């Protein structure tokens, strides 16, 4: 069966510091991978998706970037965090476009 | 622009008291409508996917239905463990993103 991991689970970072969140998927090959953010009082918003190694698409302009160095690894990064980057970051995978997206446990980020 | 509106925002039920959650949507070319359950501090857990008007799916005490403008999640004889936030999302035929509503927070009391 497929499993998705995210770490860290919780992170508190000062404004201006760098960020690296990691997501890995087990039990499937060549998944589509997604990064969503859930901010307080708002619905989940897609930030990035990837259909293959090295292929990244951005849905919204922002302070963040994503990379996919391996088939089942997806990384969310920032060079300098802003207060507005605080939120709950969720990684998800699917077999293909239009297929069900399955979410990981999430990383709660607080920028102070 | 796609829109997903869930109502009510919050719902409190007594154990065994059946009810329905609503998800109204506007989307250009629906590929699918998705229901998820989210417990506090956790990632959303997949419940159902509906693809066309008239489709219905069931799982234990939950039943999801779809029309051309809205979806309902019916909860029959709920139990306290059904307490969670229920999220609705739509996906366009032309895209990858799931466009989520803000959710309905359900509390079932004994």
Q: Quickly state the pLDDT bin for A96 (edges 50, 70, 90).
A: confident
Q: What is the mean pLDDT of chain A?
A: 93
> What is the arrangement of strands in the sheet containing A19-26, beginning at the earlier edge strand?
A3-7, A19-26, A73-78, A65-70
Q: Considering chain A, what percentage of its residues have pLDDT values greater than 90?
A: 81
Q: Considering chain A, what percentage of its residues have pLDDT values greater than 70?
A: 99
- For A34-56, the pLDDT digits (tens) are 999 999 878 899 999 999 999 99
Asked if pLDDT for residue A61 goes beyond 80, the answer is: no
A96 in reach of chain B (CB within 8 A): no
- For B25-76, the pLDDT digits (tens) are 999 899 999 999 999 999 999 999 999 999 999 999 999 999 999 999 999 9
Q: What stretch of H or E contains B35?
A: strand B30-38
B35 in reach of chain A (CB within 8 A): no
For the residues A4-19, what does the mean pLDDT come to? 97
pLDDT at res. A103? 97
Q: What is the mean pLDDT of chain B?
A: 96
Residue A83 DSSP SS3: helix
Nearest CB partner across the interface for A105, out of B36, B43, B98: B43
- For B78-107, the pLDDT digits (tens) are 999 999 999 999 999 888 889 999 999 999
B32 in reach of chain A (CB within 8 A): yes
Between CA A74 and CA A92 the distance in angstroms is 10
pLDDT at res. B60? 95
């Amino acid at each position: 069966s497929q499993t998705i991991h995210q770490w860290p689970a919780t992170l508190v970072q000062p404004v201006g510091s760098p960020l690296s969140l990691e997501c890995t998927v087990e039990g499937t090959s060549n998944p589509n991978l997604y990064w969503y953010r859930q901010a307080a009082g708002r619905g989940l918003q897609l930030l990035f998706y990837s259909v293959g190694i090295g292929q990244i698409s951005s849905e919204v302009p922002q302070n963040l970037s994503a990379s996919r160095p391996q088939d089942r690894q997806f990384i969310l990064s920032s060079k300098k965090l802003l207060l507005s980057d605080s939120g709950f970051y969720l990684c998800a995978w699917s077999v293909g476009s239009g297929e069900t997206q399955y979410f990981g446990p999430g990383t709660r980020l607080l920028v102070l | 622009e796609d829109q997903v509106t869930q109502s009510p925002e919050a719902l409190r039920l007594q154990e065994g008291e059946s009810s329905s959650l609503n998800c109204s949507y506007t989307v250009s070319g629906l590929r699918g409508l998705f229901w998820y359950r989210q417990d506090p501090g956790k990632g959303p857990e997949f419940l159902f996917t509906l693809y066309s008007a008239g489709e219905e799916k069931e799982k234990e005490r939950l039943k999801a239905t779809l029309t051309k403008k809205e979806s309902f999640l019916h909860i029959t004889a709920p139990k306290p463990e059904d307490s969670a936030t229920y999220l609705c999302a739509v996906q366009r035929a032309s895209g990858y993103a799931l466009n989520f509503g803000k959710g309905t927070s359900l509390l079932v009391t004994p």
